[in-house]
Each structure stands twice: as structure tokens, then as C-alpha cells.
Structure 1
Amino acid sequence: MKNKPWIDISQPLTNDMAVWPGDTPFTFKLSFTKEQTGSVNIGQFTTSAHTGTHIDAPYHFDENGEKVHELDVNIYIGGARVVDVTGCEMIGREELEPFNLDGVKRLLLKTSDGRDLGHFPEKFTIFRENIGPFLKEKGVRLLGTDAPSVDAVDSKTMDAHHSLNDNGVYILENIVLTGVEPGDYELIALPLAIEGADGSPVRAVLRPIA
């Protein structure tokens, strides 16, 4: 059977995209044009490690946590299940228990019907402190969300981040699941091998499992 096409679930990196309030905006420009060099265009970009679709390394919120270059790439490649939890203000054990998560290693949660990527959302779905133990019970190693973070904008304790990390669950944020149906997929969401980094943008793609 012919493989189905890959679906891009990444936010495009554009100069007008929304970023976390106060964070470094994304900018791309040509440092040198082909006219200047006589042979090639050469571009440069500036960005936060947490711009657009990205992974959080544990070092982001834990001084002793793994940095990006220390992460196991196998966490970010393999079977994944997309679950629609649109309308939930918070997500934890209570909201996910009705779903069949048997055998799921990577869980991607659709929390909204889409948003304007040019504006940072005033409100988005966040996660309960019991999310980590629940996903560990189920064997989940990677949690993906279409929200900018698993914790609220003004959180200083980062309860959901720590709950996930304490239970061996890694974090993928700002995926784009608009138009993606619930079900089982292959996922590739590899971080860049940035030495010492606390996070990394990713190009996240899904392919339906026939």
C-alpha cells in the first residue's frame, strides 16, 4: 500500500509571528545578496529557542535537567495519537481518562480549532499537576500541545512542566493541529542539536498510519 503524505504541523517562522510576551522575536533577513557576493544569497535569523513549534528540554525549568544536545532523539520519532480535547480549560487525569491511551508513547492534544498565529492568545488550555503521573501510568513519553505552553503565562512554579519531567514525559509545544483528525500517526519532531540549549524549534510532521 502506498504511504500517505506527511502533514506539516509546524508553525511557519515569519517576521510577523507571535512570540511569548517579552521574548526575542523571530527575524530573518539576507546578510548578503547574490549581487553583493557574486554567487549566493546568505541569510541570517534571530530567534528564541521557544519560538513557534518547539520542544522544551528539562533544563528550561530545571537547572540540573537535560539540555537539548543530551536528549534521546528517539523520543521525537515514532507512533503518536492525536486526541481532540477542544473546549477544556485545563487538562489532567480527569479529562484524559475517557480516552483509550493503551500503547500510546506520544500523545498530541488538540485543544482548540485553531488560532491567529500573528497574535499571542489571551487564554489557552493549560495542564493540571496530575498530568505527569497519569501519563507515566499509561506509558506516554512525549506530550504535544497546540498551546504555547503546558503552564499559564504568569506561572512561576511551572507545576505542569515539573509534573511531566518528574514522570519522564517530554514536552512539545505550539504544534498546529487545525484540520488534523483524531487518530494514530507517525510523528517526526526533531530538535536541532544545539549545545547547551534549553529548547529548540522543530519541524513537526505527521503521517497517518494506514
Structure 2
Amino acid sequence: MMDLDALAALFRSPQVRLVDLTHPLAPDMPVWPTHPRFTQELIESYDRGDVACNHALCMSEHSGTHFDAPLHFVRDGAAIDQIEPLRFFGRMATIDCSKVAPRHAIGIETILDFETRHGAIRPGDAVFFHFGWDAHWTEPAPHVAFLADWPGLSEAAAGWLVERQVRIAGSDCLSLDAFGSTEFPAHRRLLGAGVLIGENFARLGELPPFAFLVTLPLPIRGGSGAPLRAIAVVGAPTS
């Protein structure tokens, strides 16, 4: 039987640090050009004499920090509510790609170099690529820097991750395919193999090479993806 007290103590321990990898949902945040903007309308208000506060929301399944489910690019692929919950928890590798040039699609060699320096990526891992693109997230509309020229993942690198049987691949960019791609090879290769794609993640640059990822996407029935809250569990820095 799980020791719940020990688990609770672990999360309260000074040896554990939680890093929030989620951008807040807000009306002024960047969105994919063909997707609806996030809107938040006040429906009930204390100032109007209502007993409670309540907002109506309008957004895309791919608003803010989110997962793409296979259905996003695969006809009859799994929807986000059909993904087993265990997929949302597990070890996470974060590969530093902050020196990669804009529009560049990284290859397998970037992943192999990470493994040489930090250890092997295992089946069941989540693999994230820190391009540093989240630094542009809070720039004012029209979000020119965030919505253009981002780097991404090549089809070969996506295929390598599929062969390694990772469960999630993601980045801090608007798309895991590099800007300008019209064929979306990384999306098609990963989602076609049932690998979830994470996009618009924040603060990947604060993570060590390996951490424990906890993600909780909305279980949208038949959804091609869903916004989520993502937390990385890491050990406290050592002096």
C-alpha cells in the first residue's frame, strides 16, 4: 500500500522544488493565427449584486500551454479524453536548444549529444526541447517575435523519438514543427505513433536534464487537444 504520509512529506520537503511550466490563460496571449482568441467574459459579479463571481470562457483546444492528441493530425486518432491518465505522469528529459538558429529543425545528433552528456532517454520518457521561445510570450500584441521564426524538430528526430517509445515530445514554441513548415512532419510522425505533443510550455530553461513531469489536461470529450497545467518536480539545487 502506498504510504500517503511519506508522499505528502516528499512534496513538502526542502529537497523538492516545483517548477510551473504553464503560461496563464489571458486574452492578450498569442494564439495560432487560425484559432480563436482566448476570451473571458464576466457573467456574475459582486459589483452587480450577484452572490458569486463567474466568467464565461471561449478558447481553442490548443490555447496556451497544451497537448495535441493524435486526433489533431490523424483521422480516427485518439482524442485527448481517451488518453490513459498514467501518460500524464513520469520522467522528463529537457534538452537545451537555446543556441539553435531561428527556423532550424534540429536533427538526431542534438538528442544523441544530450545522451552522451546526461544519460540515455528511456521508453516512456517525456522529451522537451528548450528553445528559449517562451521569453517572447509576454511581449505585447501582435506578438511578432513569438509568432514567427521559431525552431523545431525534424522528421528524423521525431522518428528517433518514436523508435525510443517516448510518451510525450514538446517545446516552448507555438508548434513542434519549425516555422514555415506546411507538411508538419514532426506532428504527423509523432501523433501517428500515438505520442502526445506539448506546445507553449514555459520555464523549461529552469529545469535540470531530468525531472518528473506532472500534467493535467482537460478531458474534453472528442478533443483534438486540451489546455493543461504542467508542473516539473525537481530536486533542490545543491551548493
TM-score, length-scaled by structure 1: 0.90
Matched, 1:174 2:200: yes
Matched, 1:192 2:218: yes
Deviation for aligned residue 1:177: 2.3
* Contact 1:133/1:167 (8 A) holds in 2: no
Change (3 A) 1:171 1:182: same
Change (3 A) 1:69 1:178: closer
CA RMSD of aligned residues (A): 2.0
Give the greater-gyration-radius structure (CA): 2
Aligned to 1:116: 136
Which stretch of structure 1 is more off in the superposition, 20-29 or 95-104? 95-104
Identity %: 30
Matched, 1:132 2:144: no
Deviation digits for residues 140-170 of structure 1, max 9, x if unmatched? 2211211111124554422111111234422
Local SS of the residue matching 1:187: strand
Local SS of the residue matching 2:16: coil
Deviation for aligned residue 1:121: 2.7
Match of 2:85 among 64, 67, 73: 73
Deviation for aligned residue 1:41: 0.9
Deviation digits for residues 27-58 of structure 1, max 9, x if unmatched? 11211113446411111111111111000011
Local SS of the residue matching 2:191: helix
Aligned to 1:53: 65
Local SS of the residue matching 1:190: strand
Aligned to 1:96: 111
Match of 1:10 among 22, 26, 45: 22
Which stretch of structure 1 is more off in the superposition, 119-128 or 188-197? 119-128
AA of the residue aligned to 2:171: T
Match of 2:51 among 34, 39, 45: 39
Task: Point out where structure 1 has 5 or more consecutive residues left out of the alignment.
Answer: none
Task: Point out where structure 2 has 5 or more consecutive residues left out of the alignment.
Answer: 1-9
CA distance in 1, matches of 2:80, 2:193: 18
Structure 1 residue ranges (4+ consecutive) displaced by more than 4 angstroms after TM superposition: none
More helix by share: 2
